[in-house]
């Protein structure tokens, strides 16, 4: 499709892809804010400070333009028309698949299956691979910090197959207990399903090492990459895992689209998840035969526009450079943690040594829900609650946390605004 569209002046800032900024570089990622129209808006009369990127990210003009362009000039159904428009839509859709494969350094584009998001991706694997391969007595290892979407599908698969779910605990600082993982892995382990980055704690799990450990026991590995694909360079090849799922909307693309990657040999052996048009080769009333992957797993008309716009998001991120994004966010994280810790009575939940730019916190004597309401009044959007990780909350014995999750377009001023709003919270409850 088209070149990455990084509109207006910020494109200059995106240029240093070939020369990532060094620690003392003057490269200013926050210039890229201008590419995000929503970041120019006001909330409650104050400029929006958006710090809920782990829930969903904002969309750059390049993505919004791709959506408009698609419906204005390209819309047609794919894989079925002989006319030019349909052929072009098909090409654009398949190009997006290739872009995404390149982006996560997957061995082949056909190994990328489009789904609605990370949740549907995990459901697909738990359903298709899980029901087909799990037997009574088999064990599914999940980390204690999983999002509900990487717990519940496995519970359903376990219920139906007699397999058992074994949680792998994490330590007080939010790091996975690698010693316990080693002890819990056994010949009974069929799959380790684990998040790369915890959306509640920010912990970056040593996913490559975990994969190697699991493989030694003959277990497969599913990586929930919902929080890592948007924030760091990912290589499915290097990680060596077997499945990887993620959501478009958390990586600056639209909602309703995501992808799951698996090695072709696994896909080939898996039965379809949903069935209907597009995923078949032949249909008679006696029997149908399946199309090849990825189409075997993409029944019905997919979110064509969503996939293409996700391709545009990937172009945008590639132009900015994932290394640049990662280092900018690490810089912001350090600033945010230091700033927030200077607030009396505030504690950070999740202090792993390897941590992404997610800061979960509590304030003494103040419920996170009240924190959320009061900072919202200052135009600051943060998430409060259990973050779909109730087992994490139970571990710490707290009902909820407040969470600021950052993206490269956030600035130190955003964090200062959050800190000032938290002082307001303290005033209200003084």
Partner 1 sequence: MSDLRDLYQQTILDHTKRPRNFHEVAGANYCAHGHNPLCGDKLTLYLKIENNVIRDAGFQGTGCAISTASASMMTEAIKGKTTGEIEPLFEGFHSMVTAPVNVEPGEAKLEFLGKLAVFSGVREFPMRVKCATLAWHTLMAALKDGHGAVSTE
- Of the two residues 192 and 425, which places its CB atom closer to partner 1 in the complex? 425
Token couple for 399: 């009902």
Taking the complex as a whole, the smallest distance from the CB of residue 332 to partner 1 amounts, in Å, to 27
For residue 429, CA distances in Å to 296, 306, 364, 403, 425 come to: 57, 44, 10, 19, 6
Does residue number 303 form part of the binding site for ligand PLP (CB under 6 A)? no
Q: Which of residues 386-405 bind ligand PLP (CB under 6 A)?
A: 388
Taking the complex as a whole, the smallest distance from the CB of residue 325 to ligand PLP amounts, in Å, to 17
- Of the two residues 67 and 388, which places its CB atom closer to ligand PLP in the complex? 388
| Alpha carbons 147 and 166: distance in angstroms, whole number | 15
Q: Which of residues 43-102 bind ligand PLP (CB under 6 A)?
A: 54
Q: For ligand PLP, which residue of 61, 74, 247, 411 counts as binding (CB under 6 A)?
A: 247
Q: Which one of the listed residues 118, 241, 305, 388 is annotated catalytic?
A: 388
- Of the two residues 120 and 414, which places its CB atom closer to ligand PLP in the complex? 120
- Of the two residues 256 and 311, which places its CB atom closer to ligand PLP in the complex? 256
Contacts with ligand PLP: how many residues (CB under 6 A)?
Answer: 15
Does residue number 30 form part of the binding site for ligand PLP (CB under 6 A)? no
Token couple for 5: 């569209």
Under DSSP, the state recorded for 8 is S
Of 263, 364, 257, nearest in space to 312 by CA? 257
Contact 166, 184 (CB under 8 A): yes
Token couple for 223: 């990586």
Among partner 1, ligand PLP, none, what does residue 4 contact (CB within 5–8 Å per kind)?
Answer: none
Binding string, residues 149-188; x marks residues near ligand PLP by CB under 6 A: xx--------------------------------------
| Alpha carbons 175 and 198: distance in angstroms, whole number | 10
Does residue number 195 form part of the binding site for ligand PLP (CB under 6 A)? yes
**For this structure, is 388 an active site residue?**
yes
Taking the complex as a whole, the smallest distance from the CB of residue 118 to partner 1 amounts, in Å, to 21
Binding site for partner 1 (CB under 8 A): 44-45, 366-370, 373-374, 377, 384-386, 393, 399-400, 428-429
- Of the two residues 341 and 428, which places its CB atom closer to partner 1 in the complex? 428
Taking the complex as a whole, the smallest distance from the CB of residue 390 to ligand PLP amounts, in Å, to 13
Does residue number 119 form part of the binding site for ligand PLP (CB under 6 A)? yes
Under DSSP, the state recorded for 354 is S
Taking the complex as a whole, the smallest distance from the CB of residue 197 to ligand PLP amounts, in Å, to 7
- Of the two residues 4 and 350, which places its CB atom closer to ligand PLP in the complex? 350
Does residue number 241 form part of the binding site for ligand PLP (CB under 6 A)? no
Tokens 């690698």 belong to residue: 178
List of long-range contacts for 176-179, beta carbons under 8 Å, 24+ apart: 176/143, 176/144, 176/145, 176/203, 176/205, 176/206, 176/210, 178/206, 178/209, 178/210
| Alpha carbons 198 and 114: distance in angstroms, whole number | 23
| Alpha carbons 424 and 430: distance in angstroms, whole number | 10
- Of the two residues 335 and 429, which places its CB atom closer to partner 1 in the complex? 429
Does residue number 201 form part of the binding site for ligand PLP (CB under 6 A)? no
Does residue number 360 form part of the binding site for ligand PLP (CB under 6 A)? no
CA angle 148–402–428, rounded 5-degree value: 150
Binding string, residues 304-323; x marks residues near ligand PLP by CB under 6 A: --------------------
- Residue 105: exposed, middle, or buried by beta-carbon count in 10 A (0-12, 13-18, 19+)? middle
CA angle 407–92–275, rounded 5-degree value: 95
Write the DSSP assignment of 44-86 as a string of letters.
Answer: TTEE-EE-BTTT-----HHHHHHHHHIIIII---SSS--SHHH
Does residue number 226 form part of the binding site for ligand PLP (CB under 6 A)? yes
Does residue number 140 form part of the binding site for ligand PLP (CB under 6 A)? no
β 112-115/139-143 pair status: unpaired
Residues 6+ apart with CB under 8 A from 265: none
Does residue number 228 form part of the binding site for ligand PLP (CB under 6 A)? no
Where in the sequence numbering do the catalytic residues fall? Answer: 388
Which stretches of the chain bind ligand PLP, using CB under 6 A? 54, 117-119, 147, 149-150, 195, 199, 224, 226-227, 247, 249, 388
């Amino acid at each position: 499709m088209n070149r990455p569209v990084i509109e207006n002046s910020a494109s200059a800032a995106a240029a240093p892809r070939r020369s990532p900024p060094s620690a003392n570089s003057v490269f200013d990622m926050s210039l890229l804010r201008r590419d995000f129209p929503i970041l120019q808006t006001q909330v409650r009369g104050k400029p929006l400070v958006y710090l809920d990127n782990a829930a969903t990210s904002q969309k750059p003009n390049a993505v919004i333009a791709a959506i408009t362009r698609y419906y204005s000039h390209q819309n047609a159904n794919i894989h079925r028309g002989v006319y030019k428009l349909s052929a072009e839509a098909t090409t654009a859709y398949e190009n997006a698949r290739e872009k995404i494969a390149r982006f996560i350094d997957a061995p082949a584009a056909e190994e990328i299956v489009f789904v609605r998001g990370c949740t549907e991706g995990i459901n697909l694997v738990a359903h298709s691979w899980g029901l087909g391969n799990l037997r009574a007595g088999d064990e599914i290892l999940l980390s204690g910090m999983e999002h509900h979407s990487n717990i519940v599908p496995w519970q359903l698969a376990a219920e139906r197959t007699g397999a058992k779910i074994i949680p792998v605990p994490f330590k007080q600082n939010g790091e996975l207990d690698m010693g316990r993982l080693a002890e819990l892995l056994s010949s009974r382990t069929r799959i380790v399903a684990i998040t790369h980055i915890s959306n509640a704690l920010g912990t970056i799990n040593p996913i490559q090492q975990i994969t190697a450990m699991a493989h030694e026991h003959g277990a497969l590995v599913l990586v929930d990459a919902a929080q890592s694909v948007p924030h760091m360079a990912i290589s499915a090849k290097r990680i060596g895992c077997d499945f990887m799922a993620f959501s478009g909307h958390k990586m600056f693309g639209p909602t309703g689209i995501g992808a799951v990657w698996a090695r072709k040999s696994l896909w080939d052996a898996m039965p379809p998840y949903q069935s209907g048009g597009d995923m078949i080769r032949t249909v008679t009333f006696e029997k149908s035969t399946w199309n090849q992957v990825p189409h075997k797993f993409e029944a019905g008309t997919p979110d064509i526009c969503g996939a293409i716009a996700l391709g545009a998001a990937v172009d945008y991120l590639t132009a900015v450079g994932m290394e640049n994004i990662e280092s900018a966010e690490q810089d912001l994280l350090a600033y945010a943690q230091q700033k927030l810790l200077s607030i009396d009575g505030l504690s950070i939940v999740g202090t792993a040594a390897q941590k992404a730019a997610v800061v979960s916190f509590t304030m003494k004597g103040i419920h996170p829900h009240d924190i959320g309401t009061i900072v919202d009044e200052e135009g600051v959007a943060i998430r409060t609650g259990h973050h779909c990780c109730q087992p994490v909350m139970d571990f710490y014995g707290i009902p909820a946390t407040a969470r600021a999750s950052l993206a490269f377009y956030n600035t130190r001023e955003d964090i200062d605004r959050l800190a000032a709003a938290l002082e307001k919270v303290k005033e209200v409850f003084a």
